[in-house]
Homo-oligomer: A and B are copies of this chain.
Amino acid sequence: MSVTTPLGFRAAGVTAGLKASGKPDVAVVVNDGPHHHAAAVFTTNRVEAAPVTWSRTVISDGRADAVVLNSGGANACTGAPGFQDTHRTAEHVGEVLGVAAGDVVVCSTGLIGERLPMGLLLPGVDAAVEALSVDGGPAAATAIMTTDSVPKTATAVRDGWAVGGMAKGAGMLAPALATMLVVITTDAVIEGAHVADDLDAVLRSATALTFDRIDSDGCMSTNDTVLLMASGASGATVALADLTDAVTQVCADLARQLIADAEGAHHDIAIEVTGAASEDDALEVARSVARNNLFKCAVFGNDPNWGRVLAAVGTTQALFDPAELDVSMNGVMVCRAGGVGEDRSLVDLTAREVRVVVDLHAGSATATVWTNDLTHDYVHENSAYST
Q: Is A370 an interface residue (CB 8 A)?
A: no
Choose among B291, B292, B298, B325 the residue that contacts A383 (Cβ–Cβ < 8 A). B298
Contact A311 B217 (CB under 8 A): no
B79 and A294: CB pair below 8 A?
no
Chain B residues with CB under 8 Å of A300's CB are: 379, 383
**Docked pose: A305 CA to B307 CA in angstroms:** 34
| B293-A340 in contact (CB<8A) | no
Q: Are B338 and A298 in contact (CB under 8 A)?
A: no
Stretch at the interface among A61-69, A111-119, A194-202, A244-252: A111-119
Residue from the list B111, B172, B338, B378 in contact with A77, Cβ < 8 A: B338
Judging by beta carbons under 8 Å apart, are B339 and A383 in contact? no
Asked if residues A79 and B323 are in contact (CB atoms below 8 Å), the reply is yes
Contact A379 B376 (CB under 8 A): yes
Determine the residue in chain B with the shortest Cβ distance to A300: B383
Contacts of A310 in B (CB 8 A): 47, 76-77, 112-113, 222
Q: Could you tell me if B307 and A382 are in contact, using CB atoms closer than 8 angstroms? A: no
Partner of A46 from the list B111, B307, B322 (CB cut-off 8 Å) is: B322
Q: Which 3 interchain pairs have the tightest Cβ spacing?
A: A112-B307, A301-B383, A47-B314
21 CB < 8 A contacts A-B: A45-B311, A46-B315, A47-B322, A77-B310, A81-B339, A111-B307, A113-B307, A113-B335, A113-B340, A113-B344, A218-B291, A218-B293, A219-B292, A220-B314, A222-B310, A222-B311, A298-B383, A300-B383, A302-B387, A303-B383, A376-B379
